[in-house]
Chains A and B, each alone.
Chain A
Amino acid sequence: MILPFLAVIAGFYIYPIANVLWLSVVEPEPGLGNYAALFDTESLRRIILTTIRICVVTTFFSVLFGYTIAYAMVHMDQRKQNLMLALVLVSFWISILVRTFSWLMLLGHNGLLNNGLQAIGVINEPIAFVRNELGVLIGMIHYMIPYAVLPLLVNMRNLDMRVMRASQNLGATGTQTFLRVYLPMTIPGIVASTILVFILSLGFYVTPAILGGGKVLMIAEYISVQILITLKWGTAAMLATLMLFGVLGMLYVMSRFMKLSAVFGGGR
């Protein structure tokens, strides 16, 4: 009974991926030339570094904000908790395009915030919040926060709260209890949401393209240009392969800390 589905996966999923791997070593000529370019092309290295830098910053702030939100949620009564979860999920479900353009309207040159600040006389010239790296980071962090919240929430809900009471009973202050008992117990959640957010950030395309004003070039957009415009499919396939194995490696690390099914919303 499972066999036809396996065939579907093999045909529509594994075959194209294998094809990409294959392209990365045969286009434009057989050999490892595309991979060698990584070492002797400065621009490729810079694009990869930009991508990693943006993803690290995005991940740090998303997990920080996500942790705060999840922490607040588990300490609220059920009704407020449901309300907050609903709010997180609503932003989770809104299309990335809509959210990106909303930032443009809010923070743009003639946006709500700049116009407001000018109207009350705080600033004379609009502040450049978007069309630069700052804009990309704002858009990406905002998009990623729900992804950081959900694994942390799962983790925090499953903690045995009696341990915290025991800690206080033994004379620890609130801060001590948090830093020495609560925080260590949430490390699996932190690792899971960190890796999840980092992996998803790597593939960002729309947000940098729109909020970056053309000056923030990340791997995903570069791959798209190489496929659609410059026809350097070998380079594109090489970068895609690199990302694929990078992501698989990180998933492997994550699987050591947490059941993958729990992270991706399966049973707890």
Chain B
Amino acid sequence: MDKQFLKESVQQGAVAFKAGKMDRRAFLTLCAMAGVAVSAVARGDAHAAANQIILWNWGGSSEVCHGQYIAEPFTESTGIGVGFDTSGPLQGKIKAMVDSGSVTADVCDADAFDAIALGDSGHLEPIDYSVVDKAKVLDGFAWEYGVSIIFYGYAFMYDTEAYGDNPPNSWADFFNTAEFPGKRSLYKWANGSLEGALLADGVSKDALYPLDLDRAIAKVKTIKEDSLYWGSGSEAHSMIVNGEVSMGMVWQNRGKAIEDDTDGRYKLVMNEALAMPGAYIVPRGNPAGRDAVMKFIQTAQDPKAQLGLLDCLGMTPTNPTAFGMIPEGQKAYAITSAMNIDKVVYNDPVWWGANSEKAVNAFLEAIS
């Protein structure tokens, strides 16, 4: 946190210094306070900070993966550098950043429902579709204030030793603790958990939205005694790997890693997986300006970049050209592979953008 703060201070300082709004001595003092070597500043590392796109993502290996598959080709073709803020662009943080007037990120690796909610409240720059190509996105996943680059999803994994010859294959099985006894884990902040509950309760894929919140909550409560709830991917991962649950909801991109970590004891079920469109969104008044950031997003639409992210992060491409190019080993895990694309259920970000407050609080109330 402190490191992040200091890094941002220096980047801000570098911008002010370049614009002539801060004198040299003050800038050097700032660098010294932040522990940035003056030699590094003299070499221009911090200067470069003023001339780059800052991608705000979720840390972990995403910095390396985004760096290799989007940032490198982007810098090669435009000469503009790419920096990272890995603190996680939650809606509240983006809103606070834009409201405070000191925007330090250019593009956020966010959710599509963030694009709807924050776009409506005036916190985002519209996407420039003369640069970003709508044809390179699966139909329906390009919005005014955000464009989907990857899909991730909510699927579940089960213990093959617990269920043997009769493995679970749907959310109905997941919620059926009579026939499939054992502990469950679900996502703590409602997304995916509500959809899974409704599908289990017999709602058809096409009639899912608008979500019947009361019905979903009632279904979630039926397995409350047997449920744990996770808030982060690593928590979901460890609940399964440590054997705490017999069936666990996960972010599908972790499926392969968990199968490997448990030597295949736990298996991913992609049937009825809930496909979540991620979205690249641009905070209003982003420091690098609109043109540069739109070119950056355009780079991320390239099938090569998206297949790279699939390999590196398990995130599934949204560019239809890339669907057929998904490598054999990833087909079972990818949302838009020929194997899975007809089995998944797409999340409706417009409903979530408008109703997430109600849904999250109702869910929290039900589980706590």
Contacts and interface: CB of A to CB of B under 8 A. Distances in A.
Given A231-B95, A232-B357, A225 B364 contact: yes
A217 B364 contact: yes
Among B91, B243, B361, which residue has the most Cβ atoms of chain A within 10 A? B361
A213 B93 contact: no
A222 B243 contact: no
B28 to A, nearest CB: 22
A209 interface: yes
A99 interface: no
Given A214-B367, A225-B360, A225-B364, A109 B91 contact: no
B229 A213 contact: yes
A50 interface: yes
Interface in B100-118: 117
A225 B189 CA distance: 9
B368 A216 contact: yes
A156 to B, nearest CB: 37
Interface string B322-354: 000000000000000000000000000000000
Binding site secondary structure of chain A: loop
A165 interface: no
Contacts of A231: 91-92, 95, 117, 357
B93 A215 contact: no
Contacts of B357: 230-232
Contacts of B95: 231
A144 to B, nearest CB: 22
A229 B228 contact: no
Binding site secondary structure of chain B: helix
A210 B244 CA distance: 14
Nearest to B186: A214
Interface in A7-65: 43, 46-47, 50
B368 to A, nearest CB: 4
B311 to A, nearest CB: 30
Contacts of A209: 231
B244 A229 contact: no
Interface residues of B, number: 24
Among B117, B230, B364, B365, which residue has the most Cβ atoms of chain A within 10 A? B364
A3 interface: no
B90 A43 contact: no
Contacts of A215: 228-229, 367-368
A231 to B, nearest CB: 6
A229 B189 contact: yes
A231 B95 CA distance: 9
Interface residues of A, number: 24
Among A110, A131, A230, which residue has the most Cβ atoms of chain B within 10 A? A230
Contacts of B368: 46-47, 50, 214-217
Contact of B244 (A47, A131, A225, A227): A131
Contacts of B235: 210
A109 B360 contact: no
A193 to B, nearest CB: 29
Given A214-B230, A228-B90, A228-B93, A108 B360 contact: no
Nearest to A236: B92
B242 A109 contact: yes
Interface string B262-288: 000000000000000000000000000
Among A213, A214, A231, which residue has the most Cβ atoms of chain B within 10 A? A214
Interface in B208-258: 228-231, 235, 242-244
Contacts of B356: 229-230
Contacts of A227: 92
B231 A108 contact: no
B3 to A, nearest CB: 16
A36 B123 CA distance: 29
Given A214-B228, A231-B95, A43 B244 contact: no
Interface in A198-244: 209-210, 213-217, 222, 225, 227-233
Contacts of A225: 189, 360, 364
Contact of B231 (A214, A222, A232): A214
Nearest to B358: A230
B7 interface: no
A216 B360 CA distance: 15
Interface in B189-220: 189
B229 to A, nearest CB: 3
B188 interface: yes
Contacts of A210: 235
Contacts of A213: 228-229
Contacts of B90: 228-229
A55 to B, nearest CB: 16
20 contacts: A47-B368, A108-B242, A109-B242, A110-B244, A131-B244, A214-B228, A214-B367, A214-B368, A215-B368, A217-B364, A225-B360, A228-B92, A228-B93, A229-B91, A229-B92, A229-B189, A230-B360, A231-B91, A231-B92, A231-B117
Given A213-B228, A215-B229, A217-B364, 19 more contacts: A43-B361, A43-B365, A46-B368, A110-B242, A110-B243, A210-B235, A214-B228, A214-B367, A215-B368, A217-B368, A222-B364, A225-B189, A228-B91, A228-B93, A229-B189, A229-B356, A230-B356, A230-B361, A231-B95
Interface of B: 90-93, 95, 117, 188-189, 228-231, 235, 242-244, 356-357, 360-361, 364-365, 367-368
Which 4 residue pairs spanning A and B have beta carbons closest together?
A214-B229, A217-B368, A228-B92, A230-B357
